[in-house]
């Protein structure tokens, strides 16, 4: 799966420099090269209706991150229309928070709100879009809403890690691979791998106590949403098949 933070080009803390700047996000072109994006555990149930949800192993031992899959190969996003807008009804929070991000060590008392100065969504003369600051230098209502959204996003990150770690600790995550062939003018073969899913057999093998704990903490609901979401790979296959047929 793709490197997830590659949507940011030049992250800088908000300052007086940005007094007259505004933001105008017109589409999702900034994720056109991503075949997946990270999602929060709290998003899994709703995102699972439209994306395959899988887990990817991080560089930290025993740590996994849930991803919403959008393409079947590197640098491919099959869910953008001709206007570079996601065709899904739900847009993951990772996508919606752009071009902003909180900077600093997680858990710190203060984290700085940063903006991607290299983003095409940034309007330095403030001629269109949502202004960051009012004429008197105070935060605009838009910026206050952005801050609250970023804080909420950050607060859910530890919960997501804990959920993924729980799946790992219970031995529920297993590597998955698939070979897909597309027949057209020329046969195209794809080998999907490097991701993890919950297997029903493993879920049935956990103890009643562990199952009850998952149920009470809403983990069971997220697990079943994840497993059911894997059928959405068929949607991506159909979209790619249609694209290849036109070539």
Q: pLDDT by residue (tens digit) across 196-209?
A: 999 999 999 999 99
As a whole number of angstroms, the distance between CA 82 and CA 60 comes to 38
Long-range pairs for 232-237: beta carbons < 8 A, 24 or more residues apart: 232/48, 232/50, 232/51, 232/52, 232/69, 233/52, 233/69, 233/178, 236/52, 236/69, 236/70, 236/71, 236/72, 236/78, 236/79, 237/72, 237/180, 237/182
Could you give the percent of the chain with pLDDT greater than 90?
81
As a whole number of angstroms, the distance between CA 246 and CA 110 comes to 52
| 148 token code pair | 């609250």
Q: Confidence band (pLDDT; 50, 70, 90) for 4?
A: very low
As a whole number of angstroms, the distance between CA 122 and CA 129 comes to 9
Stretch 156-172: mean pLDDT? 95
| 5 token code pair | 């933070």
Mean pLDDT of the chain: 91
Could you give the percent of the chain with pLDDT greater than 70?
94
pLDDT at residue 38 in the model = 96
pLDDT digits (tens, 9 = 90+) for 57-84: 988 777 899 999 999 999 999 999 999 9
Assess contact for 77 and 70: CB atoms under 8 A.
Answer: yes
As a whole number of angstroms, the distance between CA 34 and CA 73 comes to 9
For 235: left if phi > 0, alpha if psi spans -120 to 50, otherwise beta; the answer is alpha
Q: Confidence band (pLDDT; 50, 70, 90) for 1?
A: very low
pLDDT digits (tens, 9 = 90+) for 28-39: 999 999 999 999
Q: Which of 51, 39, 70 is nearest to 163 (CA)?
A: 39
- pLDDT of 186 > 90? The answer is no
Per domain, the residue ranges of the chain are 8-25+98-149, 27-94+170-247
Q: Which of 2, 16, 15, 31 is nearest to 119 (CA)?
A: 31
- pLDDT of 110 > 80? The answer is no
Buried b (16+ CB within 10 A) or exposed e, 170-185: bebbeebeeebebeee
Q: Which of 243, 240, 235, 245 is nearest to 186 (CA)?
A: 245
Q: Confidence band (pLDDT; 50, 70, 90) for 103?
A: confident
């Amino acid at each position: 799966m793709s490197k997830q933070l590659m949507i940011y080009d030049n992250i800088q803390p908000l300052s007086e420099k940005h007094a007259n700047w505004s933001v105008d996000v017109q589409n999702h072109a900034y994720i056109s090269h991503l075949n997946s994006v990270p999602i929060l555990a709290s998003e899994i149930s709703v995102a699972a209706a439209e994306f395959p949800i899988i887990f990817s192993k991080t560089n930290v031992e025993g740590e996994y991150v849930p991803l919403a899959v959008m393409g079947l190969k590197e640098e491919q996003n099959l869910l953008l229309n001709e206007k570079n807008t996601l065709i899904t009804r739900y847009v993951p929070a990772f996508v919606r928070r752009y071009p902003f991000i909180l900077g600093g060590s997680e858990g710190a008392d203060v984290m700085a709100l940063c903006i991607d100065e290299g983003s095409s969504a940034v309007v330095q003369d403030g001629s269109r879009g949502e202004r960051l600051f009012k004429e008197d230098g105070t935060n605009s209502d838009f910026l206050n809403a952005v801050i609250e959204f970023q804080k909420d996003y950050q607060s859910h990150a530890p919960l997501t890690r804990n959920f993924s770690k729980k799946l790992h600790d219970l031995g529920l995550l297993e590597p998955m691979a698939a070979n897909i062939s597309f027949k057209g003018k020329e046969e195209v073969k794809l080998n999907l791998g490097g991701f993890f899913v919950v297997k029903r057999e493993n879920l049935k093998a956990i103890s009643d106590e562990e199952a009850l704990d998952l149920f009470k903490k809403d983990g069971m609901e997220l697990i079943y949403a994840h497993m059911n979401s894997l059928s959405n790979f068929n949607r991506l296959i159909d979209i790619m098949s249609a694209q290849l047929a036109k070539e």
